[in-house]
Structure 1
């Protein structure tokens, strides 16, 4: 199994787009299409198997899964494990999670809405909107969003890692985070995952809208779409949010001084518009369905959102394929694998959580799973769990009629 995680270990909340996913050793019970109880039992067995086989390796104690169907069919919501590693308190049934780089799609959509309103163009350069960074003046907004800017990733910088390791409660500003890379050379105009791109996108939103990112996120996306369990941490999250979250753990082997450290629930100032949202899985699947079914943007901007760059060749592609299996749009990812077919998918990781979703256009099914640890890529088996769950669900779901 491989992930699209070209980041060094220190880049602790990059996204992963699934590339080639093997199967796990867990064996689910046979599921009949009319037996929702059997499907629920099979999915629960897969979650419990994941915890049994990966709990120690990934330092994870809590896992939550949601299966969301089109056309109003009731969803399936499951949790397994405990809210603390080594604890006994069950995971809250309606828990909330740091969703990491799934945040990037929210940021892209706000920018594209501003474009649709004539307030900016994604062909604008940073020289227009952020002239304080002259070395990046010719880079367009689009290249920020599709990860071809060449601007280095601040989460990969030793000074950033040292700041986090020294004080996990450090409060960062966007200017401070960007400052970790302002003196570094710009790379080629090729695909290279960098969280800095989305901090700069946040800053452009605030200048174009004459408003804070938090308020634009709330008024444009959270309120209109009824995402009442979604907030931008720590700025708009009520204190009660933390009580609904399991404890998240830093378990990246490359930073041994922090291994196994409980991380703050709501201090996501290190992530901002690149990964600062907290949400329930119900809200996350509602968001993904709106995102992928065209409810958020006019046709032109939706086309821009879904315009893919091959993560292998850095060239534009219409769609992914078995020979060119992963593509990156504007804050969204697409993958084609033998196990899934062509799907939209994204994994987000913060300092203490991972959340991964798959949207299968063929069936309309969305599967999202969240866990309470951050790990380095070689030990991350969450994609295999999500793919296994999707296969189990599709085996029990009648095919949608063709239109």
Structure 2
């Protein structure tokens, strides 16, 4: 039953494709850029068609979506293939909404960092200050919650939680109930260890510091200011009709055979909350990621804190990732370095029914987001390969901001 512990946790991209990336010089005319954009859209659609054809059965998916967004180049490219149900015939809506899983964690981190910038707390405050009802964790800082070095166990790997979900996937959980699954367990060492419990506690701190609900703070601070019209915190703020814009999501983790292939609730994400309960369109997700990584949401000090990394291998602070130390975790954000992509910001979120992965290339400003409608165990998950392939296709095209030549070369 421990196989469930991967749900709504990230899978930072790894060196799956060891190819040299050489970007082709293209014509500078606007007409040529538009032609290239059309060709790029066709190429990306072919890639997700192929992914669905080759991975549909293994990953129990019926829908795949990709979005590519350039700074200063419109329109963005959106392509979606497949059907709303596994084995069905109804085409999935082009502008679907998806459970984005642990991509939610960056929203939680940003709100805490905004509160720090407002002088309402410090990420160096301890849980003893904000959540004294958990005395065993009194000396753990907010920062250690956010960078996954708290040592607090992950509630999603606890047998009692797994049993509750397996018995009734539509179980409604409270945040206190989620924390209760680990409240009496020993604290581990202060090393990197991914735990969704950290972000439920972070959610509780936001609510304590603001005397408000997480849902309202999320809407007021981030969703409304960024104009994220197709983003909601499920089930609390999702408007009527949200589920109609979603493909059916499936549990496809072979570690729990009783649930394999089961359609999961589209909007009851009470099991995830501040760790993974946001539903969004890929258009909104790219808007969010661009604001996140370009400093639109935080003052410089807090932006630096957001992007301060610990190595997922050594648990030591690192300035940036490298081929020798390829994955790092910040405060709800992830960075990876591969020969195929260079150094990029990336995160894969997974719920019990969906996966959504983004890559942001800071050198070009390109964002690639891909999403599918199932959850799977790690060995079955090829979504990072699809995202890397899409990024390389974009880089190899001659589409670039404002129709100018794309002359970046890495290797």
TM-score (normalizing by structure 1): 0.95
Task: State the 1:400 CA deviation.
Answer: 7.1
User: Using the alignment, how far apart are the partners of 2:233 and 2:158 within structure 1?
Assistant: 24
Give the corresponding residue for 2:72.
Answer: 71
Change in 2 beyond 3 A, CA 1:295/1:342: same
Asked if structure 2 preserves the Cα contact closer than 8 Å seen for 1:96 and 1:280, the reply is yes
Task: State the 1:14 CA deviation.
Answer: 1.2
Asked if structure 2 preserves the Cα contact closer than 8 Å seen for 1:31 and 1:42, the reply is no
Change in 2 beyond 3 A, CA 1:279/1:31: farther
User: Using the alignment, how far apart are the partners of 1:361 and 1:137 within structure 2?
Assistant: 37
Give the corresponding residue for 1:275.
Answer: 276
Aligned with 1:18: secondary structure?
A: coil
Tell me if 1:92 matches 2:87: no
Give the corresponding residue for 1:16.
Answer: 11
Change in 2 beyond 3 A, CA 1:225/1:400: farther
User: Using the alignment, how far apart are the partners of 2:37 and 2:307 within structure 1?
Assistant: 33
User: Using the alignment, how far apart are the partners of 2:191 and 2:240 within structure 1?
Assistant: 41
- The answer to which of 383-392 and 38-47 deviates more is 38-47
Give the corresponding residue for 1:374.
Answer: 375
Give the corresponding residue for 1:145.
Answer: 146
User: Using the alignment, how far apart are the partners of 2:286 and 2:14 within structure 1?
Assistant: 22
Task: State the 1:94 CA deviation.
Answer: 1.1
Task: State the 1:239 CA deviation.
Answer: 2.3
Count of residues paired in the alignment: 391
User: Using the alignment, how far apart are the partners of 1:149 and 1:8 within structure 2?
Assistant: 22
Asked if structure 2 preserves the Cα contact closer than 8 Å seen for 1:31 and 1:395, the reply is no
User: Using the alignment, how far apart are the partners of 2:12 and 2:129 within structure 1?
Assistant: 32
Give the corresponding residue for 2:56.
Answer: 55
User: Using the alignment, how far apart are the partners of 1:23 and 1:355 within structure 2?
Assistant: 23
Q: Which runs of 4+ in 1 moved over 4 A?
A: 30-33
Task: State the 1:249 CA deviation.
Answer: 0.1
Change in 2 beyond 3 A, CA 1:311/1:42: same
TM-score (normalizing by structure 2): 0.93
Aligned with 1:73: secondary structure?
A: strand
Asked if structure 2 preserves the Cα contact closer than 8 Å seen for 1:363 and 1:399, the reply is no
Give the corresponding residue for 2:288.
Answer: 287
Tell me if 1:296 matches 2:323: no
Give the corresponding residue for 1:243.
Answer: 244
Asked if structure 2 preserves the Cα contact closer than 8 Å seen for 1:108 and 1:145, the reply is yes
Alignment RMSD: 1.7
Tell me if 1:39 matches 2:40: yes
User: Using the alignment, how far apart are the partners of 1:53 and 1:32 within structure 2?
Assistant: 32
Give the corresponding residue for 2:335.
Answer: 334
Asked if structure 2 preserves the Cα contact closer than 8 Å seen for 1:249 and 1:260, the reply is yes
Asked if structure 1 preserves the Cα contact closer than 8 Å seen for 2:309 and 2:318, the reply is yes
Q: Deviations over 1:205-244 (max 9, x none)?
A: 0000110000000000000110010000000001210000
User: Using the alignment, how far apart are the partners of 2:139 and 2:189 within structure 1?
Assistant: 13
5+ residue gaps, structure 2:
400-404
Asked if structure 1 preserves the Cα contact closer than 8 Å seen for 2:17 and 2:339, the reply is no
Q: Map of 1:93-242 to 2, 5 A cutoff?
A: 93-242=94-243
Asked if structure 2 preserves the Cα contact closer than 8 Å seen for 1:319 and 1:327, the reply is yes
Asked if structure 1 preserves the Cα contact closer than 8 Å seen for 2:215 and 2:233, the reply is yes
User: Using the alignment, how far apart are the partners of 2:306 and 2:41 within structure 1?
Assistant: 34
Give the corresponding residue for 2:264.
Answer: 263
Give the corresponding residue for 2:402.
Answer: none
User: Using the alignment, how far apart are the partners of 2:291 and 2:51 within structure 1?
Assistant: 30
User: Using the alignment, how far apart are the partners of 2:41 and 2:119 within structure 1?
Assistant: 47
Bigger relative contact order (CA 8 A; separation at least 6): 2
User: Using the alignment, how far apart are the partners of 1:380 and 1:170 within structure 2?
Assistant: 26
Task: State the 1:401 CA deviation.
Answer: 8.7
